[in-house]
Structure 1
C-alpha cells in the first residue's frame, strides 16, 4: 500500500471582520512543528531508566559488600527511583 503524503499543519485564523462580512476569506499561518528528538536525548532517557534499575538490583544483591552503598543504607531506594523517574519524565518531551 503506498504511503500518503505528509503535510505541514496550517492554522486558520479569521481575516478582518469587515473582510469576513463581505466574503468567507481566511488567512493561513504556518505553525512551526518541532522535529523528532535526537539519538543523544533518547540514549540519556533510556540510560537513566536502566541505570536506576541496575542501581536497585546491585543494592539488593551486593549492597552490604559495597562500602558507599552500605553507608547510605535505605537511601539507595531513593537514588534508584530518582534515576528511573528522571528518565520517565524525559519521555514527556520525547518526539
Structure 2
C-alpha cells in the first residue's frame, strides 16, 4: 500500500530539521574552535626555545651582559614566562 502524502512530508520535514540542526552544530563548533591553527607550532616552539635560551644565557653569562645584569632576578621571570606562554600555546594546537 503506498504511503500517504502527509506521511512523506513528515519524514521530509524531519530530515530537513535534522540537517539544519547538524549545520547549526557545525557552525557553532567552527566558531568556537577554528580549523586553521597551523600557525600555533610556528609560535610555541620558538617561544619555548627562546625561553630556554634566555634561562641558559642568564645562568651562564649574565655577569658579562649589561642589560641582563641590570634586570637581576627578573631574568628568571622572563625565561619562565616565555616557557609558560609556550605551554599555553600548545593547548591551542589541534
TMscore range, shorter length:
0.5 to 0.7
Runs of 4+ in structure 1 over 6 Å off: none
Unaligned runs of 5+ in 2: 1-9
TM-score by length of 2: 0.66
Unaligned runs of 5+ in 1: 1-21
TM-score by length of 1: 0.65
Kindly indicate whether structure 1 or structure 2 has the higher relative contact order, using CA contacts under 8 Å at least 6 residues apart. Answer: 2
Higher percent of residues as helix: 2
**What is the alpha-carbon root mean square deviation over aligned residues?**
2.0
**Cα pair 1:36 1:94 within 8 Å, conserved:** no
Larger radius of gyration: 2
Higher percent of residues as strand: 1
